[in-house]
Protein backbone atom coordinates (compact mmCIF):
# COMPACT_ATOMS: atom_id res chain seq x y z
CA UNK A 1 0.00 0.00 0.00
CA UNK A 2 1.30 3.45 -0.90
CA UNK A 3 1.24 5.64 2.23
CA UNK A 4 2.70 8.72 0.60
CA UNK A 5 0.51 11.80 0.72
CA UNK A 6 0.49 14.16 -2.24
CA UNK A 7 0.48 17.85 -1.44
CA UNK A 8 0.44 20.88 -3.68
CA UNK A 9 2.97 23.68 -3.59
CA UNK A 10 2.30 26.20 -6.28
CA UNK A 11 1.79 24.23 -9.48
CA UNK A 12 3.91 21.26 -8.37
CA UNK A 13 2.67 18.11 -6.67
CA UNK A 14 5.07 16.85 -4.00
CA UNK A 15 5.12 13.52 -2.20
CA UNK A 16 5.80 13.27 1.52
CA UNK A 17 7.46 10.12 2.77
CA UNK A 18 7.58 9.01 6.36
CA UNK A 19 10.97 9.30 8.08
CA UNK A 20 11.34 5.51 8.00
CA UNK A 21 10.54 5.32 4.26
CA UNK A 22 13.07 8.05 3.55
CA UNK A 23 15.79 6.39 5.62
CA UNK A 24 15.24 2.94 4.15
CA UNK A 25 15.13 4.25 0.59
CA UNK A 26 18.19 6.43 1.06
CA UNK A 27 20.11 3.67 2.84
CA UNK A 28 19.42 1.22 0.04
CA UNK A 29 20.45 3.73 -2.62
CA UNK A 30 23.63 4.78 -0.83
CA UNK A 31 24.63 1.23 0.06
CA UNK A 32 24.22 0.20 -3.58
CA UNK A 33 26.40 2.94 -5.01
CA UNK A 34 30.15 3.37 -4.87
CA UNK A 35 31.65 6.80 -5.40
CA UNK A 36 33.36 6.47 -8.80
CA UNK A 37 36.84 7.90 -9.10
CA UNK A 38 37.26 8.46 -5.36
CA UNK A 39 38.28 4.98 -4.29
CA UNK A 40 35.60 4.74 -1.59
CA UNK A 41 33.58 1.60 -1.05
CA UNK A 42 29.85 1.75 -0.41
CA UNK A 43 29.04 2.46 3.25
CA UNK A 44 28.28 -0.48 5.51
CA UNK A 45 24.71 -1.62 4.89
CA UNK A 46 24.58 -2.93 8.45
CA UNK A 47 25.61 0.46 9.87
CA UNK A 48 23.06 2.32 7.75
CA UNK A 49 20.34 -0.11 8.80
CA UNK A 50 21.32 0.15 12.48
CA UNK A 51 21.20 3.96 12.28
CA UNK A 52 17.46 3.71 11.65
CA UNK A 53 16.81 2.51 15.19
CA UNK A 54 19.90 3.20 17.31
CA UNK A 55 19.85 5.99 19.88
CA UNK A 56 23.65 6.38 19.82
CA UNK A 57 26.71 6.38 17.64
CA UNK A 58 30.32 6.15 18.79
CA UNK A 59 32.68 8.55 17.03
CA UNK A 60 36.45 8.67 16.72
CA UNK A 61 38.27 11.13 14.46
CA UNK A 62 40.89 9.54 12.21
CA UNK A 63 44.42 10.90 12.08
CA UNK A 64 46.00 11.70 8.74
CA UNK A 65 47.58 8.21 8.68
CA UNK A 66 44.14 6.60 9.09
CA UNK A 67 44.60 5.52 12.71
CA UNK A 68 41.99 6.40 15.32
CA UNK A 69 42.60 9.31 17.65
CA UNK A 70 42.50 8.69 21.40
CA UNK A 71 39.18 10.56 21.51
CA UNK A 72 36.01 8.48 21.45
CA UNK A 73 32.49 9.23 22.57
CA UNK A 74 28.96 7.97 22.44
CA UNK A 75 26.71 10.72 21.11
CA UNK A 76 23.15 11.49 20.12
CA UNK A 77 22.59 11.82 16.38
CA UNK A 78 19.89 12.19 13.78
CA UNK A 79 19.93 11.03 10.18
CA UNK A 80 19.73 13.40 7.25
CA UNK A 81 19.36 11.11 4.25
CA UNK A 82 22.43 8.84 4.60
CA UNK A 83 24.38 11.41 6.63
CA UNK A 84 24.51 11.54 10.42
CA UNK A 85 24.16 14.88 12.22
CA UNK A 86 25.64 15.56 15.65
CA UNK A 87 25.47 18.69 17.80
CA UNK A 88 28.47 19.34 20.02
CA UNK A 89 30.05 22.15 22.00
CA UNK A 90 32.27 24.21 19.69
CA UNK A 91 35.43 23.63 21.75
CA UNK A 92 35.06 19.85 22.10
CA UNK A 93 37.42 17.48 20.34
CA UNK A 94 34.85 16.52 17.64
CA UNK A 95 34.80 20.14 16.48
CA UNK A 96 38.50 20.74 17.15
CA UNK A 97 39.46 17.76 14.99
CA UNK A 98 37.63 19.25 12.00
CA UNK A 99 39.24 22.64 12.61
CA UNK A 100 42.66 20.95 12.63
CA UNK A 101 41.91 19.33 9.28
CA UNK A 102 41.04 15.85 10.57
CA UNK A 103 37.96 15.45 8.42
CA UNK A 104 37.58 11.68 8.57
CA UNK A 105 35.96 9.71 11.36
CA UNK A 106 35.14 6.14 12.24
CA UNK A 107 31.60 5.63 13.50
CA UNK A 108 30.08 2.61 15.21
CA UNK A 109 26.27 2.42 15.36
CA UNK A 110 24.54 0.95 18.42
CA UNK A 111 24.00 1.46 22.12
CA UNK A 112 26.66 -0.03 24.37
CA UNK A 113 26.55 2.58 27.13
CA UNK A 114 29.39 4.90 28.05
CA UNK A 115 32.34 3.97 25.87
CA UNK A 116 34.84 3.95 28.75
CA UNK A 117 32.73 1.37 30.59
CA UNK A 118 31.77 -0.71 27.56
CA UNK A 119 35.01 -2.71 27.54
CA UNK A 120 35.19 -2.06 23.82
CA UNK A 121 31.77 -3.60 23.10
CA UNK A 122 30.95 -0.71 20.77
CA UNK A 123 33.74 -1.96 18.47
CA UNK A 124 31.59 -5.00 17.62
CA UNK A 125 28.78 -2.75 16.36
CA UNK A 126 28.30 -2.06 12.65
CA UNK A 127 30.74 0.64 11.57
CA UNK A 128 31.44 3.03 8.77
CA UNK A 129 33.92 5.71 7.87
CA UNK A 130 32.70 9.21 7.19
CA UNK A 131 33.88 12.62 6.16
CA UNK A 132 33.18 15.27 8.79
CA UNK A 133 32.24 18.89 8.16
CA UNK A 134 30.42 21.68 9.91
CA UNK A 135 26.94 22.30 8.55
CA UNK A 136 25.83 25.90 9.11
CA UNK A 137 22.70 25.83 6.98
CA UNK A 138 19.72 27.27 8.92
CA UNK A 139 17.38 24.85 7.12
CA UNK A 140 19.46 21.83 8.11
CA UNK A 141 19.74 23.15 11.68
CA UNK A 142 15.95 23.38 11.97
CA UNK A 143 15.48 19.91 10.46
CA UNK A 144 18.10 18.50 12.83
CA UNK A 145 16.55 20.13 15.91
CA UNK A 146 13.13 18.77 14.95
CA UNK A 147 14.67 15.32 14.47
CA UNK A 148 16.46 15.44 17.83
CA UNK A 149 13.22 16.55 19.49
CA UNK A 150 11.31 13.61 18.03
CA UNK A 151 14.04 11.05 18.65
CA UNK A 152 14.96 12.11 22.19
CA UNK A 153 11.57 13.44 23.30
CA UNK A 154 11.90 12.31 26.93
CA UNK A 155 14.98 14.53 27.42
CA UNK A 156 14.30 17.25 24.88
CA UNK A 157 12.74 19.68 27.36
CA UNK A 158 16.17 19.93 28.97
CA UNK A 159 18.46 19.61 25.93
CA UNK A 160 16.36 21.25 23.21
CA UNK A 161 16.83 24.83 24.47
CA UNK A 162 20.55 24.17 25.08
CA UNK A 163 21.03 22.87 21.54
CA UNK A 164 19.03 25.70 19.96
CA UNK A 165 20.59 28.60 21.88
CA UNK A 166 24.05 27.06 21.58
CA UNK A 167 23.73 26.69 17.80
CA UNK A 168 22.41 30.24 17.48
CA UNK A 169 25.21 31.72 19.61
CA UNK A 170 28.02 29.63 18.14
CA UNK A 171 28.66 27.88 21.47
CA UNK A 172 27.59 24.65 19.76
CA UNK A 173 28.12 23.43 16.21
CA UNK A 174 26.32 21.00 13.93
CA UNK A 175 28.59 18.36 12.42
CA UNK A 176 27.63 16.38 9.35
CA UNK A 177 29.19 12.93 9.02
CA UNK A 178 28.83 11.69 5.43
CA UNK A 179 29.57 7.98 4.94
CA UNK A 180 32.45 7.25 2.59
CA UNK A 181 33.22 3.61 3.09
Report pLDDT for 2.
42
d(CA 152, CA 6): 28
CATH topology of domain 14-179: Pnp Oxidase; Chain A (2.30.110)
What pLDDT band is residue 22 in, cutting at 50, 70 and 90? very low
Q: Please determine, for residue 166, whether its predicted confidence score (pLDDT) is greater than 90.
A: yes
Query: Which of 27-31, 146-150, 165-169 has the lowest average pLDDT?
Result: 27-31
Nearest to 82 by CA among 27, 159, 151: 27
Provide the phi-psi class of 58: left if phi over 0, else alpha when psi is between -120 and 50, else beta: beta
**Is 95 in contact with 88 (CB distance < 8 Å)?**
yes
**Of the spans 6-15, 94-103, 161-170, which averages the highest pLDDT?**
161-170
Question: How far lies 4's CA from each of 22, 30, 64, in Å?
Answer: 11, 21, 44
- pLDDT tens, 148-164? 999 999 999 999 999 99
Amino acid sequence: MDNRRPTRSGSEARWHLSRRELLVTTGVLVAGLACPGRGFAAPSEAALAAAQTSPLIYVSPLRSDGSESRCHAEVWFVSDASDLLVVTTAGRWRAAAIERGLRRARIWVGDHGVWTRSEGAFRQAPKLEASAAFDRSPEVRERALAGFGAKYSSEWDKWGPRFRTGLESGERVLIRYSPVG
